Structure 1
Amino acid sequence: MAERWVSRCSTHPTQSLGTQPRAERLRQNNKQETTMQHATQVELLKRTLALIEQGQTDCAPAPSALPVDVYLDAERYRREREEILRREPVLVARSSEIAAGHFLTRELLAPLLLSRDEQGRLRGFLNVCKHRGTQLVGEASGKNRVFVCPYHAWAYNPDGQLRGIPHGYGFEGIDRACLNLTEVPVAERFGAVWVRLSPGPALDLEAFFGPEILADFDSFGLDEHVIFDPRDIRRPVNWKLTIDTFLENYHVQKAHQATIDHLFWPNLGLFERFGRHIRNYYVKRNLRDILDQPESAWNLRRHGNLLYFLWPNTLVLVEPDHIDFSSVYPDGPLATRVLGHTLLSEQPASDKARRYFEKNNEILYSALEEDFALAARVQTGIQAGASDRLWHGRFEPALKWFHQSLDEALGDKRVIE
């Protein structure tokens, strides 16, 4: 078995999803490959080689099953939205999108207004006037100013404080402090803005992510990366089906044979859980190249893609020379919205470099569309009532972990077997 698996590997140059001239690739590798601690890389690559010798991928002790109702039930959707996605830290923007003295709005599971003062302090508010509940700021971004409600002209400072009420005598007796904008907790880490989309205590991102995730992401040096090719995608599938497609590579050989299958070793990967966060490693067919290299030269990113699931809804794909973020939000009980962007260590220095990254993203998003099409077929299938459950193979443990975490966060009796 092991010999047969090894023979399926072919030697490829270091590559992302697309192709790139060697000189350009080496130049960018030197500038852009910021990766995890080398000892961790060596450990993971040794574990991967051991799996090849065993002739199988990382596996859970047993298969599991999940009731189809978790994808279809409207009350389940409401609870996931209100009790998880609006109560946990979610990624809403890159820090670089909000300069000092500027604001940014987002319409996610709640209307959000982010404002950074001249000293660099960032604050978050629900973008809702306290008078009659009107969305306060309509623009996507701009310089800070007095924000005036378009309905009755109530005015707010960028720090959320109520500034003025026309004909204020009509509201005498109301504590003005109750009329300030509703503040929500906000914090910045990994060059990103994380927000709790409802009022609550300050965010403790150190505790939220934990030491393993912090170590990996701090090593990527994301604070200075730049945004490339942001996307806003909406498709008519349940949000969890979208996440499911990222958490296993069992489907790649069949579902992605026209796009990315040629890059990856069939159904071979590592799966690890850190609290409710997950780290997967999907192995490329060029893995055997490291057998001719000293351990000191091993580079995990050249021989596979790291895929992180950051609880509760962000997926991070770490490729050799760039990193792709996708935050998955429900857009209704049977609809999903994906906010995606690519991070580069610097803006492309030439048209050739830009075309290279555009080609990579073309392949990535083509594969995602293949996943969306299959998720839609799954949704149609489970709505037909053919079965009351879906199955997870032993080599799909991350699917079980994701759905277990949802159940635990909702305080539900385990619905996954």
Structure 2
Amino acid sequence: MRHATQVELLKRTLALVERGVSDCVEAPSSLPVDAYLDEQRHRRERDEILRCEPLLVARSSEIAAGHFITRDLLAPLLLTRDGQGRLRGFLNVCKHRGTQLVGEPAGANRVFVCPYHAWAYNPDGQLRGIPHGYGFEGVDRACLNLTEVPVAERFGAVWARHSPGPALDMDAFFGEQILADFESFALDDHVVFDPRDIRRPVNWKLTIDTFLENYHVAKAHQATIDHLFWPNLGLFERFGRHIRNYYVKRNLRDVLEQPEDQWDLRRHGNLLYFLWPNTLVLVEPDHIDFSSVFPDGPLATRVLGHTLLAEEPATDKARRYFEKNNEILYSALEEDFAMAARVQAGIRAGAADRLWHGRFEQALRWFHQGLDEALGDRRVEVLEG
């Protein structure tokens, strides 16, 4: 992050400490509980938002030239990179009878042969051959090529839309501020450490909610991370539908003993980015954690997580250090999952028809307002004074 931005954010945070309050919006807001329970709402979020936006589906380093990977997320994807480095994305579905074409998670490019009737496709998605092709005379072969989906690479990651559509404009998608922040992290050169694939029986939005406020840390994370953070203190900013939070550590006042040109935002708090519509990026002092949250059904979540390091750990001691960091992170996440399950059980009990967001839980409001805006809905209600 630009140093001038770091200084600005630290000064704003110090001012909050002096006043003894967190960053706040003008009024509380509320959300109906059926936003988490309604199956029609779930289908609309999946089909009208998640399948239509650029989603992080892989690191670029996972797909070498001349190789492919598959991903089975909101739709089955086949991602191929040719010998010249061009990346392409397809729905991993044979056009004959809808069979999943490639079953392996990764490998060298080849002619992909459907396991059902042996239709064959080139890595560029073009139909190569049909056994007993005379049975399909009169069918336009162009409509039998694999269905292509737009893909793009940014910040060392592969972003894909899960349905056909125009080319992805990642500059417009991220916007100026998010681009500036992430370009400063130099993620293209980072390496992947400790990838995770986690499934839990809670609504996907409850999973994201737990990241977007630090009000719960003092109670819910007493055993793991509470000792690190200033109670319920943070900065919250929205850039389009993306969100940047800064959760302040208890060592914040140490900056006052340093000259401004040495101030380091990452030493005194964690940056938490929500990248619309489902990716969370936790920026810690010496590594960055990514979590992409996918619905695995109306009341289930799948989280694909990985840590990025500036370089491979050079020693066993360095590896143990990052393993310990991730042990703390994922222990806290399990605490969040347990709490989300209790929330889900509570709202299904019908005790109330609405949930409340405090003035310092504004990132929750923004996330759910973004969903409302994308669906042409209005479920979030702001309390009027």
TM range (shorter): over 0.9
2:171 corresponds in structure 1 to 206
* Counterpart check, 1:225 vs 2:179: no
| Residue correspondence of structure 1 range 212-361 to structure 2 within 5 A | 212-361=177-326
How far apart in 2 are the matches of 1:393 and 1:236? 26
The farther-off stretch of 50-59 and 148-157 is 50-59
| Residue correspondence of structure 1 range 395-406 to structure 2 within 5 A | 395-406=360-371
- Indicate conservation of the 8 Å contact 1:404/1:416, yes or no: no
AA aligned opposite 1:315 = L
- Indicate conservation of the 8 Å contact 2:29/2:380, yes or no: no
1:69 corresponds in structure 2 to 34
1:115 corresponds in structure 2 to 80
* Counterpart check, 1:179 vs 2:113: no
How far apart in 2 are the matches of 1:416 and 1:79? 20
| Residue correspondence of structure 1 range 337-416 to structure 2 within 5 A | 337-416=302-381
How far apart in 2 are the matches of 1:277 and 1:178? 37
How far apart in 2 are the matches of 1:346 and 1:175? 50
How far apart in 1 are the matches of 2:119 and 2:139? 15
AA aligned opposite 1:258 = A
Q: Which runs of 4 or more aligned residues in structure 1 lie more than 2 Å from their structure 2 counterparts after TM superposition?
A: 413-417
* Counterpart check, 1:149 vs 2:107: no
1:86 corresponds in structure 2 to 51
- Indicate conservation of the 8 Å contact 2:32/2:379, yes or no: no
AA aligned opposite 2:236 = F
Task: Give 1:412 shift.
Answer: 1.1
How far apart in 2 are the matches of 1:177 and 1:189? 31
Task: Give 1:414 shift.
Answer: 4.2
Equivalent position SS for 2:289: strand
In angstroms, what is the RMSD of aligned CA positions? Answer: 0.5
How far apart in 2 are the matches of 1:167 and 1:224? 49
- Indicate conservation of the 8 Å contact 2:236/2:245, yes or no: yes
Task: Give 1:54 shift.
Answer: 1.2
State, as a whole percentage, how many aligned pairs show the same letter.
Answer: 86
Equivalent position SS for 2:337: helix
How far apart in 2 are the matches of 1:341 and 1:412? 33
- Indicate conservation of the 8 Å contact 1:403/1:416, yes or no: no
Task: Give the count of matched residue pairs.
Answer: 382
How far apart in 1 are the matches of 2:352 and 2:299? 19
How far apart in 2 are the matches of 1:107 and 1:126? 10
Q: What stretches of structure 1 of length at least 5 have no aligned partner? A: 1-35
- Indicate conservation of the 8 Å contact 2:229/2:247, yes or no: yes
Task: Give 1:416 shift.
Answer: 3.3
- Indicate conservation of the 8 Å contact 1:103/1:143, yes or no: yes
Equivalent position SS for 2:196: strand
Equivalent position SS for 2:207: helix
AA aligned opposite 1:336 = T
- Indicate conservation of the 8 Å contact 1:408/1:414, yes or no: no
Equivalent position SS for 1:86: helix
- Indicate conservation of the 8 Å contact 2:245/2:271, yes or no: yes
AA aligned opposite 1:243 = I
How far apart in 1 are the matches of 2:144 and 2:33? 44
1:19 corresponds in structure 2 to none
Q: 1:335-367 CA deviation, whole Å, 9 max, x = no partner?
A: 000000000010000000000000000000000
How far apart in 2 are the matches of 1:234 and 1:295? 44
Q: 1:219-268 CA deviation, whole Å, 9 max, x = no partner?
A: 00000100000000000000000000000000000000000000000000
How far apart in 1 are the matches of 2:14 and 2:204? 34
Task: Give 1:163 shift.
Answer: 0.1
- Indicate conservation of the 8 Å contact 1:306/1:317, yes or no: yes
AA aligned opposite 2:6 = Q
How far apart in 1 are the matches of 2:356 and 2:378? 19
Task: Give 1:415 shift.
Answer: 3.8
Equivalent position SS for 2:381: coil
* Counterpart check, 1:159 vs 2:124: yes
Q: What stretches of structure 2 of length at least 5 have no aligned partner? A: none
AA aligned opposite 2:269 = G
AA aligned opposite 1:200 = G
How far apart in 2 are the matches of 1:345 and 1:148? 39
Equivalent position SS for 2:118: coil
Q: 1:85-119 CA deviation, whole Å, 9 max, x = no partner?
A: 00000000000000000000000000000000000
- Indicate conservation of the 8 Å contact 2:266/2:283, yes or no: yes
